[in-house]
Amino acid sequence: MAEIHFGPAGIGGFKEAPKVLEAYHKAGIKCAEIPFTYQIWLTNSQAEVIGEIAKNFDIQLSIHAPYYINLNSQNKEKIDASIRRILLCCERAHYLHAKNVVFHAAYYGIKSPEETYKIVKEKILEMQQVIKKNNWHVNLCPEATGKKSQFGSIDELLQLIKETSCFLCIDFAHVRARQGKINYDDVFKKIKSAHINNLHCHFSGIEFGDKGEIRHLVTPESNLQELLKFLKKSGLNANIINESPSPVEDSLKSLKIFNSLQ
């Protein structure tokens, strides 16, 4: 039987994390993502402590890298800084026993989607060499993005997997915002054709306009039911990280809905 785990973005700060992770465990939460949204706020030694606590509570951790990343910048210094941030997250992930490092890879800017893809692919391959050299057992997970100005369509990411053996994060709310709607049949057909059996996902409610994502919202129950029915039918394993303004409550709501579908 496929394993579907639900969890929030956030574990509190370093001092709060042990109690937060214990509370997650008692509530039945089995995954959580550490958001390094604006800075990488853990040291390696702190990451090692949290990683052991999460392991003892059977909670799978992942990392979301800082938002200040653009592998397609016109400024080489910004590209270099972006790579440093991603690799520093990979180093922390190693000590956390966290497998997946999620990041928004790039903006198209003045380049075409095809040109942007080539540059992102090149940088992914470069970073993978560093990861291999350091023996970090982590996956680079470029995320499906919610703005039409950003690199990160489902098709782009699946092609990256094929050509680099990286992984991905499918944010279903972003896919909805980017496309104006979401066709789960089409998305899951593409995932299966790429021979992906384990998904790392994000989900929440979302407000969007003509240019795509505006902001995350509390997750409507109807949206959850729709996604979870397709996930159950797919037979895929998945960790689903909720990024709504109420991520813990929405994760528990997701777990309750999914259990009702059994």
Q: Which domains does the chain have, with CATH numbers?
A: 4-260 (3.20.20.150)
Strands (E), 81-197: 100-103, 139-142, 170-171
Cβ atoms within 10 Å of 162's Cβ, excluding its own: 11
Residues 6+ away with beta carbon under 8 Å from 122:
none
pLDDT at 1: 65
* DSSP labels, 78-101: HHHHHHHHHHHHHHHHHHHT--EE
pLDDT at 54: 98
User: pLDDT of the chain along its 262 residues, tens only?
Assistant: 678 999 999 999 999 999 999 999 999 999 999 999 889 999 999 999 999 999 999 999 999 999 999 999 999 999 999 999 999 999 999 999 999 999 999 999 999 999 999 999 999 999 999 999 999 999 999 999 999 999 999 999 999 999 999 999 999 999 999 988 899 999 999 999 999 989 999 999 998 888 888 899 999 999 999 999 998 888 899 999 999 999 999 999 999 999 888 6
Strands 237-242, 4-8: pairing is parallel
Q: Are 151 and 116 in contact (CB under 8 A)?
A: yes
Q: How many residues does the chain have?
A: 262
Which residue bears the tokens 């409550």?
249
Euclidean distance between CA atoms 158 and 166, whole angstroms? 9
- Report the Cα 124 to chain-centroid distance in Å: 16
Euclidean distance between CA atoms 73 and 96, whole angstroms? 30
Rg (CA), the chain: 17
pLDDT at 248: 96
Euclidean distance between CA atoms 171 and 187, whole angstroms? 11
Strands 212-217, 205-209: pairing is antiparallel
pLDDT at 102: 98
